[in-house]
Amino acid sequence: MTGFKPIEDNAAMANRYQVLTPDALMMMDTIARTGSFAAAARELGKVPSALTYSVRQLEDALDVLLFDRSSRQAQLTAAGSELLHEGRRLLQEMDAVANRVQRVASGWEAALSISVDDALSPTTIFELVESFCGLCTGAQAEQRHATRLRLRSDVLAGTWEALVSGQADLAIGVPATHPNPGSIELQPIGDLPFVFCVAPHHALATAAEPIDHDVLVHHRAVAVADTAQRLSPITVNLLPGQDVLTVPSMRAKLEALLRGLGCGYIPEPLARPHLEAGHLVQRQTATGSYTAHLHYAWRADRGALGLGKALQWWLQQLASPTTRRALLERHAGPLR
């Protein structure tokens, strides 16, 4: 008979539904992230044997091997990697459903993720966070505002990628050079000038200006790594064949420049106090000046529900010229 399924198949499918739960998927994610059952058990507040039992239940229900038993580490098999990949996707979709349900009830998102370019003022960002978290207090907070905020720091193309891939609801500090899929709204923040700097004891501190590429190529550049994983990473003002020290953040780049570990461009507001104190020297190069034209962007295609109240609040703050100017100008003081 067409469409008939044996009782055994139905029972096996029911068992999969019972075992393949969000808790099981989060357990798989924790084991893979920490690299061992023992470390995952500590993070989850369980004993390793409980995790081992749960993994075996998953393997029995799916009739696959999820971890390589010959390895001392928690090494995923190909099937385990696929389950982890799809499990993470399912967990994200479940979060999205919870978010939509929360918005239907109150208009406030359950969570709001914001990607901020590393070159912008962290002081200003956290002042905005402070204001956002203080929107309501006491009993009113439960009624009006229960949005969990998720901040991430990205660099160059990584900020745009976070937005278009759905990892961020709002991106602050993106260029307007990437292809727009059509559902992204952009508004300008302003122009952020960069200056080429070296430490006073660096060889380029006394080189003839403008410093030619033939001279620069023999000196190590300091660069912040682009955080994009899928989009083509952006490189700015690096020469072919030039030695490069790659660091994770603009603050780390500043520290490397102060120590004379290389040369490079940093935001002028970030460099300013160090230039005034004599800890850095600004130099002119044949490349000339460099200015980043930055924007904030969000995904406007949000269905019948429209924009949530949390995102609306952030967009209202970013519409202020004072806020935009502070994002560009208000960097922390000297490191030393």
Is it true that domain 109-336 has CATH number 3.40.190.290?
Answer: yes
**Contact at 8 Å (CB) between 209 and 262?**
no
Q: Which amino acid would we find at residue 98?
A: A
Structural domain boundaries in the chain: 7-93, 109-336
Better pLDDT: 327 or 231: 327
Q: Could you read off the pLDDT of 228-239 as tens digits, one per residue?
A: 776 656 667 778
pLDDT of residue 13: 56
- In the predicted model, what is the mean pLDDT of the chain? 84
296 pairs with which residues across the strands? 172, 187
Gyration radius of the chain's alpha carbons: 25
276-281 CB contacts, 8 Å cutoff, 24+ apart: 277/334, 278/200, 279/199, 279/200, 279/334, 279/336, 280/197, 280/198, 280/199, 280/200, 281/197, 281/198, 281/199, 281/200, 281/202, 281/205
pTM of the model: 0.67
pLDDT of residue 86: 87
**Contact at 8 Å (CB) between 299 and 184?**
yes
| Phi and psi angles of residue 295, each rounded to the nearest 5 degrees, phi first | -135, 165
pLDDT score of 335 more than 50: no
Place of tokens 């001279």: 215
Q: Could you read off the pLDDT of 168-217 as tens digits, one per residue?
A: 999 999 988 887 877 899 999 999 999 999 999 999 999 999 999 999 99
Q: Could you read off the pLDDT of 126-167 as tens digits, one per residue?
A: 999 999 988 755 444 444 466 889 999 999 888 998 998 888
pLDDT of residue 143: 42
Structural tokens at position 42: 């500590």
Q: Predicted confidence band at 260 (pLDDT cuts at 50, 70, 90)? A: very high
- The CATH class for the domain spanning 7-93 reads mainly alpha
pLDDT of residue 301: 67
Average pLDDT over residues 41-58: 89
H/E segment holding residue 223: strand 221-224
pLDDT of residue 232: 59
